[in-house]
């Protein structure tokens, strides 16, 4: 499920025609897809409101469908427009609020950004299943199977390649902060909290350290640690 705040009651109708955009998110501690959309909006400089729908609870899907028939978070409501899916929200935020700065000006670079974002959006199922995002987990190594190791290696080598290619342009995957960094931020948290070895990929190790220290992410994580709901079955 894609894709946490003060929850409203399930009987409350969806809100329209707000003076500020409204982002519907799941639990901050666990909802990686919500984090992607939220960090993109935050880094776009737009002022927006948030509403939290607790995940995996009775009535969760019904509440989500009150905003979008897809029944998943995140969901962005901007006036009469509803945008769902994290990538669609990021693309919209880039155009509507960020003045295009979350994507490179160069067409070839934009295509590469979209390629690496799509790879994350549609791939790495073993990483998702075996190392789910949990911002409340104490950082400690967790043994993983071979399939997960392969996916971890692919991500670290991809980051290493992008960081080397754009060295001197900035500390992020494509130099300046952008969509690719939003999409891979939850993976950064996974590598941190599950103690994934990074020494063989020094640039990627530096990237993880820098992204985890991002001020906007610190704001998200501080709120996540205030949540009291604990999902069962987390590793």
> pLDDT, tens digit, for every residue of 30-39?
999 999 999 9
pLDDT at site 83: 96
- Environment class of 136 (CB within 10 Å of its CB; exposed 0-12, middle 13-18, buried 19+): middle
**Domain-embedded: residue 60:** yes
- State the first-to-last Cα distance of the chain, in angstroms, to the nearest integer: 18
Alpha carbon 113 to its chain centroid, in Å, reads 15
Of 41, 75, 100, the residue that ends a domain is 100
Domain that holds residue 176: 107-219
Share of the chain above pLDDT 70, in %: 92
154 and 206 both lie in a single domain: yes
Residues 6 or more apart in contact with residue 53 via CB below 8 angstroms: 7, 24, 25, 26, 60, 63, 64, 73
What is the rounded distance in angstroms from the CA atom of residue 113 to the CA atom of residue 178?
9
Helix axes 179-193, 32-44, angle to 10 degrees: 130
pTM value > 0.95: no
pLDDT at site 112: 98
**Tens digits of per-residue pLDDT, 97-152?**
999 999 999 999 999 999 999 999 999 999 999 999 999 999 999 999 999 999 99
pLDDT by position in tens, the chain (length 235) = 444 333 333 333 344 444 899 999 999 999 999 999 999 999 999 999 999 988 877 777 788 777 777 878 999 999 999 999 999 999 999 999 999 999 999 999 999 999 999 999 999 999 999 999 999 999 999 999 999 999 999 999 999 999 999 999 999 999 999 999 999 999 999 999 999 999 999 999 999 999 999 999 999 999 999 999 888 888 8
What is the rounded distance in angstroms from the CA atom of residue 89 to the CA atom of residue 196?
29
18 Rama class: left (phi>0) / alpha (psi -120 to 50) / beta: beta
Of 61, 84, 100, the residue that ends a domain is 100
85 and 116 both lie in a single domain: no
């Amino acid at each position: 499920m894609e894709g946490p705040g003060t929850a409203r009651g399930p009987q409350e109708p969806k809100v329209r025609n707000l003076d500020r955009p409204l982002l519907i998110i799941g639990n901050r501690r666990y909802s990686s897809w919500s984090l992607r959309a939220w960090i993109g909006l935050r880094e776009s400089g737009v002022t927006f409101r948030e509403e939290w729908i607790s995940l995996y609870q009775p009535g969760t899907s019904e509440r989500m469908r009150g905003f979008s028939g897809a029944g998943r978070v995140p969901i962005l409501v901007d006036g009469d427009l509803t945008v769902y899916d994290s990538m669609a929200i990021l693309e919209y935020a880039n155009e509507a609020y960020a003045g295009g700065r979350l994507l490179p000006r160069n067409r070839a670079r934009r295509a590469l950004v979209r390629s690496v974002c799509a790879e994350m959006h549609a791939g790495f199922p073993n990483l998702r299943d075996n190392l789910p995002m949990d911002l409340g987990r104490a950082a400690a190594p967790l043994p993983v199977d071979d399939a997960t190791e392969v996916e971890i290696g692919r991500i670290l080598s991809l980051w290493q390649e992008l960081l080397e290619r754009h060295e001197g342009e900035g500390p992020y995957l494509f130099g300046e902060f952008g969509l690719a960094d939003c999409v891979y931020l939850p993976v950064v948290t996974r590598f941190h909290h599950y103690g994934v070895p990074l020494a063989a990929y020094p640039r990627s190790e530096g990237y993880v350290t820098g992204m985890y220290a991002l001020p906007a992410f610190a704001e998200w994580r501080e709120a996540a640690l205030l949540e009291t709901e604990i999902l069962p079955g987390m590793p």
